[in-house]
């Protein structure tokens, strides 16, 4: 079972969730944005990047973006499961 700690600084705060697989999720309390890493430091670094992207507003992913990234727009579950998962 995952465990949770809270680190409140500068009036904001980050919740750290220690996952069962050993990874750590860091969630910004104010925005609800979360990211993860193998250590608290890594989780905080990726959280900072995620918050920066969140605050810049970003835009929705377009068909052109998917094409540029070499991805298709299939919905999860559209493909048949491999034999070992049936």
Q: Are 2 and 8 a contacting pair, CB within 8 Å?
A: no
Q: Which pTM value belongs to this model?
A: 0.56
What integer pLDDT is reported at residue 54 of this predicted model?
Answer: 84
Please give the structure tokens belonging to residue 41.
Answer: 């430091």
Nearest-angstrom CA–CA distance, 61 and 38: 28
- Name the stretches of the chain with pLDDT < 50: none
Residue 83 sits at φ, ψ, to 5 deg, of -55, -40
């Amino acid at each position: 079972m995952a465990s949770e700690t809270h680190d409140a600084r500068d009036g904001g705060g980050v919740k750290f969730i220690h996952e069962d697989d050993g990874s750590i999720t860091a969630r910004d309390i104010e925005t609800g944005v979360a990211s993860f890493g193998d250590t608290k430091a890594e989780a905080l670094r990726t959280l900072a990047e995620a918050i920066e992207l969140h605050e810049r507003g970003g835009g929705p992913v377009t068909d052109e973006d998917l094409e540029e990234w070499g991805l298709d727009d299939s919905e999860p579950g559209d493909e048949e499961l491999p034999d070992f998962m049936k």
